[in-house]
Amino acid sequence: MRVLIGIDDTDNPTTGGSAILARELGAMLHETGLARVQSVTRHQLCPSPAIHRTTSNAAACLLVHVLSDYYYDLCPVCEKHIKEFSAPKANAGLCVVLWDIVSDEVVDFGQKAKRRQVQLEEAQALAAAQKIDLKAITGSGNGVIGALAAVGLRKGSNDGRFVWLPGLRDLPVHTYTVADLCQRIHVDEVRSHRGTPLNPDETVYTGDWLRPILIGGKAVLFVAEAPEGAPYQWVLLDKALVKELGS
């Protein structure tokens, strides 16, 4: 069973954010054997100063595979982990839902949360109508807005950047062919900064900040032309441009 787990812990300025908490949750689920994590994505929500937030107002979503026998254990285990490890005084929220039942209304909600401020009651009413597990865990529970939005944006398959894929964060800095890179970090495609897909035998020099973008349901890694005379053809796209593409 494919399951989406949305998290927004509205971190404080001195602690890690929702993406870090999501990666740690994924590691715990893997270690306990409860779920197999396929990916973790970060989704940028509306940065309006009117919204109670700390740094960037971003939420995270895990896509996991769960045996049907374990599905009903997933929500309480995630809730316990978030309650224990979310930032002090955080307003953490959690959303757990089967991929197949995430509706267009939830996808639209995610898009709405990127454009403007959304009220807690709106998120709760939509989740109740759709029979989605949405839980306010700590503080005011305003994190349920971001948690539900992250699920909608991940299901929409055209928003956010991957902060975890198998092998992504462990890849040594080196020169790889496109084919080798796709196999090692489980990306679907490598594209130039102009959007052109690269050939499998073209070479890419990787840095230490690999962040593929979610486009059309694919994990797409963007690269730029290497400096003249370099012994490889491509380098990773500038971090600021990657953040802009994934926002």
Answer yes or no: do 27 and 126 share one domain: yes
The total of structural domains in the chain comes to 2
User: What domain range includes position 121?
Assistant: 2-161
Which residues does residue 123 pair with via DSSP β-bridges, in sequence order?
none
State both tokens at 113: 């949360």
Q: Can you read off the two tokens belonging to residue 23?
A: 């990666």
Mean pLDDT along residues 238-243: 92
More confident residue, 154 or 19: 154
CB-CB contact of 148 with 127 (8 Å): yes
Mean pLDDT value across the chain = 92
Taking 90 as the threshold, does the pLDDT of residue 13 lie above it? no
pLDDT tens for 76-134 read 999 999 999 887 788 899 999 999 999 999 999 999 999 998 999 999 999 999 999 99
Q: Looking at the structure, tell me whether residues 123 and 39 fall in a common domain.
A: yes
- Whole-number pLDDT of residue 16: 63
My answer on whether 40 and 85 are in the same domain is: yes
Q: What is the pLDDT of residue 86?
A: 84
Average pLDDT over every residue of 195-209: 95
Residue 100 is predicted with a pLDDT of 96
In this prediction, residues 167-173 reach a mean pLDDT of: 94
> Beta strands 218-225 and 213-215: pairing type?
antiparallel
CA distance 114 to 118: 9
Provide the pLDDT for residue 57: 85
